[in-house]
């Protein structure tokens, strides 16, 4: 079984099943081999123990660990006892033991690479982008993208994933980006995030504050991932599982495969179209106008039904503005720097709206599918 790191650092008594059907679970490392792999990866990926005090993660993490231990002592005796049983004062050893990993199935490639790293060479450089080792990891990122989106309901979210690694091979070498460094930087400030009265938008990445939500969301996802569609024609209709995994993969592509905000906006709009709009009658309608009307009406309806304190006209106007932005991009219209500067706000709104639509889809798939068909 393969594993990757999450953004969570917290001692677990037992693993937490996310999806039986997908074979996903949250856990701490349970063997010396797993701990050694994580420790080596962390040391290689950040300037651990080196540099000055401002950029030495070891010093900040030691402070965060003290904050976490105090929190556990007051709020979670089981987790506190686990840390005490580590029998070490070494900061990195404690962090490694408490790091929450996500376990997943990958047909045994992870174990093969663990035994012999050169096994990676034909996988990475062989030109097969559909290799099971890569596909299984990308599917994990798509799945956790769905969880991350549904965990974050406080705004200021731009697609961050609770898995900080972009590629499955990173854990065997080092992270070339700063993603792992930022995980440790966030951990350094854990005292701020653990203060439940503090309105910090990054609270969603702190496990003790979102553990129950992670369980609830994963159960909700599992209920749809395991649904079958009795009316499905294999040639014409996607299963609920196929739909969810497709949306998850788009979230992964938006996060990791492009830095162009115009492309991000196009793809985010396409997720709403995918979930809510149907093919228009090409003989009767202006196609784009028909899809635009469906997009605005159906999305506004679901978003309002989810939270009736929202202003209907504001939702509709926002969606109209966003769809016009999408049309300008799709048709190659001139976009000024001033107009492009508004895209980040639209992307923030799109993540919010997609999260709401997904929640409604998970809770009442029949209604959302009915809305799509009509």
Q: So what's the pLDDT on residue 303?
A: 97
Residue 262's nearest CA partner among 326, 311, 309, 219 is 326
Task: Return the pLDDT at 198.
Answer: 55
Per-domain residue ranges for the chain?
A: 2-219, 258-373
Secondary structure letter of residue 282 according to DSSP: T
Q: How many CB atoms lie within 10 A of CB 278?
A: 14
- Give 249: exposed, middle or buried? Use CB within 10 Å, 0-12, 13-18, 19+: middle
d(CA 315, CA 322): 11
Tell whether the torsion through CA atoms of 129, 181, 88 and 173 is positive or negative: positive
- Of the CA atoms within 13 Å of residue 186, those in its CB half-sphere come to 22
Structure confidence at residue 76 (pLDDT): 95
Give average pLDDT by consecutive 10-residue segment, the chain, 374 residues: 95 97 98 95 77 65 90 94 91 95 94 87 77 94 97 83 93 84 86 62 79 96 88 70 98 96 97 91 63 94 96 97 95 90 94 97 96 92
Identify the pLDDT of residue 366.
Answer: 95
Burial of 341 (0-12, 13-18, 19+ CB in 10 A): exposed
Q: Residue 279 CA to chain centroid, in angstroms?
A: 29
Q: Are 302 and 276 in contact (CB under 8 A)?
A: yes
Q: Which helix (H) or strand (E) holds 300?
A: helix 287-306
Beta partners for residue 9, in sequence order: 99
Cβ contacts of residue 277 below 8 Å, gap of 6+? Answer: 291, 294, 295, 298, 372
Q: Fill in the DSSP letter of residue 306.
A: H
């Amino acid at each position: 079984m393969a594993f990757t790191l999450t953004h969570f650092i917290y001692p677990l008594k037992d693993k937490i099943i996310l999806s039986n059907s997908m074979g996903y679970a949250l856990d701490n490392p349970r063997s010396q081999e797993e701990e050694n792999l994580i420790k080596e990866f962390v040391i290689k990926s950040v300037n651990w123990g080196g540099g000055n005090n401002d950029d030495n993660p070891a010093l900040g993490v030691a402070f965060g660990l003290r904050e976490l231990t105090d929190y556990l002592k007051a709020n979670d005796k089981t987790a506190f006892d686990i840390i005490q049983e580590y029998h070490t004062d070494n900061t990195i050893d404690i962090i490694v033991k408490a790091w929450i990993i996500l376990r997943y199935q990958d047909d045994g490639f992870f174990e093969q690479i663990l035994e012999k790293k050169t096994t990676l060479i034909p996988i990475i450089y062989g030109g097969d982008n559909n290799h099971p080792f890569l596909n299984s990891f990308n599917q994990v990122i798509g799945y956790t993208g769905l969880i991350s989106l549904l965990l974050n309901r406080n705004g200021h979210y731009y697609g961050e994933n609770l898995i900080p690694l972009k590629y499955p091979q990173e854990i065997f070498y080092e992270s070339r980006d700063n993603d792992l460094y930022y995980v440790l930087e966030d951990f350094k400030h854990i005292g701020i995030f653990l203060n439940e009265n503090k309105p910090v938008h990054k609270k969603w990445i702190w496990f003790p504050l979102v553990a129950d939500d992670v369980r609830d969301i994963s159960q909700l996802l599992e209920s749809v991932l395991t649904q079958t569609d009795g009316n499905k024609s294999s040639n014409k209709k996607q299963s609920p599982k196929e739909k969810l995994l497709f949306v998850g993969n788009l979230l992964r592509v938006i996060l990791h495969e492009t830095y162009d905000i115009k492309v991000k906006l196009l793809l985010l709009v396409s997720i709403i179209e995918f979930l809510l709009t149907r093919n228009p009658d090409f003989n009767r309608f202006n196609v784009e106008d028909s899809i635009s009307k469906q997009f605005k009406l159906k999305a506004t309806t679901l978003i309002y039904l989810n939270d009736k304190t929202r202003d209907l006209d504001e939702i509709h106007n926002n969606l109209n503005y966003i769809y016009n932005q999408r049309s300008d991009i799709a048709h190659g219209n001139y976009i000024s720097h001033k107009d492009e500067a508004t895209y980040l706000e639209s992307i923030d709104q799109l993540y919010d709206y997609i999260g709401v639509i997904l929640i409604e889809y998970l809770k009442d798939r029949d209604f959302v599918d009915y809305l799509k068909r009509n």
